[in-house]
Chain A
C-alpha cells in the first residue's frame, strides 16, 4: 500500500511526516508536489503536512487548498481514502471544504509552541484505534492560527456524531469547545493542529504518543 505526502511551497513538516510514515510502515511515502494533478495509483493514505503554505497569505491554507493536487485529494477522500491533515494541513482541509469550520488567529494572538495534553474523544476512527476513549496523550503544538471556529449548530453536530477526535485538556488557543481535531462525516478525513509526527520516538526523544496514530492507521489501511 502506498502513502503520499503533499508538499506545498512553504510546507516545513513534510519530511517529519514522511519519516514517521517510513519508520512505522517500512516504506517511504511518495512526495507529491502541489502543482501535480495526480496521486500515485492505489494510494492508501494521503498526508497534508504542517508548515506555512504560500506564507499563510490571504488566510492560512487558503491558497494551498486551491492547488491543482487538491482536486485529486478531494476525489480520493470521496472514494474513502484516509486523508490526514496536520496543522497547516488541517487549515488546508477546512479551506478546501473537506472539513467543517475554520482555524482563526489564536485567541491570545501569540504563536503557541509547546507540548499540550490532549484527550482522545473518539477512539473508534481509523486514526485513533490505538488510543483509549478518554485517554490523555501528550503531543506538541506549534501554530499561530489554531483557534477552531464553527457555528453552534456545526459544533453540536460534530459532537453528536462523534466527529471530535481530540480536544485540548485545557484551553490552548481559544478553540471552540477546546477542539483540537475533527473528522469528516465518513470518518476518513482527520484534521488536527497538534503534531503527532513529532512524537514517534522514545521517552528520551519526547515520547511516542503520536506513533500509535500511525501504527493503527497503517495497519488498518494495510500499508
Chain B
C-alpha cells in the first residue's frame, strides 16, 4: 500500500523558507502571490494490512513534529 504523508507547518508558525520563496517569486516578476508555505512530502510503501492507527503513530512519533507541524495522510 502506497501512502503520501504531507507535513506542513501549523498556521501561525512563521515559515522563513516560505517567505524566502515568496520573495524570490516576486524577484522573478511573479506578482499576485499572497503567501507561500513550504512543507514536506514523504512517500511510504507499507504492508497492505497496516492499520490506520499504526500509520497515524508513525506520523506522530517521527514523520511530523506536532509542536510545529500538521500532517495529512493520503492513500495513493
Listed in ascending order, the chain A residues whose CB lies under 8 Å from chain B are 58-59, 62, 66, 94-95, 100-102, 104-109, 147, 149-150, 174
Residues 6-33 of chain B: 1 if any A CB is under 8 Å from the residue's CB, otherwise 0? 0000000110110010000000000000
Contact A104 B68 (CB under 8 A): yes
Contact A147 B16 (CB under 8 A): yes
Shortest distance in angstroms between B50's beta carbon and chain A's nearest beta carbon? 19
Q: Size range of the interface on B?
A: 10 to 19
Q: A58-B62, A62-B62, A66-B62 are in contact. Are A109 and B16 (CB under 8 A)?
A: yes
Contact B13 A149 (CB under 8 A): yes
Shortest distance in angstroms between B9's beta carbon and chain A's nearest beta carbon? 8
Shortest distance in angstroms between A154's beta carbon and chain B's nearest beta carbon? 9
> What are 15 sample pairs from A and B whose C-beta atoms fall under 8 A apart?
A58-B62, A58-B63, A59-B65, A62-B62, A66-B62, A95-B65, A102-B67, A104-B68, A107-B14, A107-B16, A147-B16, A149-B13, A149-B67, A150-B67, A174-B16
Contact A94 B67 (CB under 8 A): yes
Identify B65's interface contact among A62, A105, A106, CB under 8 A.
A62
Listed in ascending order, the chain B residues whose CB lies under 8 Å from chain A are 13-14, 16-17, 20, 61-63, 65, 67-68
Shortest distance in angstroms between B71's beta carbon and chain A's nearest beta carbon? 12
Task: Report A-chain residues with C-beta under 8 Å of the C-beta of B16.
Answer: 104-109, 147, 174
* Cα A149 to Cα B9 with chains together (Å): 12
Shortest distance in angstroms between B10's beta carbon and chain A's nearest beta carbon? 9
Task: Report B-chain residues with C-beta under 8 Å of the C-beta of A105.
Answer: 16-17
* Cα A94 to Cα B65 with chains together (Å): 10
Q: A105-B16, A108-B16 are in contact. Are A149 and B68 (CB under 8 A)?
A: yes
Shortest distance in angstroms between B23's beta carbon and chain A's nearest beta carbon? 10
Residue of B nearest to A94 (CB): B67
Shortest distance in angstroms between A61's beta carbon and chain B's nearest beta carbon? 10
* Cα A141 to Cα B59 with chains together (Å): 31
Shortest distance in angstroms between B8's beta carbon and chain A's nearest beta carbon? 13
> Top 10 closest A-B pairs, CB basis?
A102-B67, A102-B68, A105-B16, A107-B16, A109-B16, A109-B20, A102-B65, A59-B65, A149-B68, A105-B17
* Cα A95 to Cα B60 with chains together (Å): 12
* Cα A95 to Cα B67 with chains together (Å): 9
Q: A94-B67, A149-B68, A150-B67 are in contact. Are A109 and B62 (CB under 8 A)?
A: no
Shortest distance in angstroms between B51's beta carbon and chain A's nearest beta carbon? 21
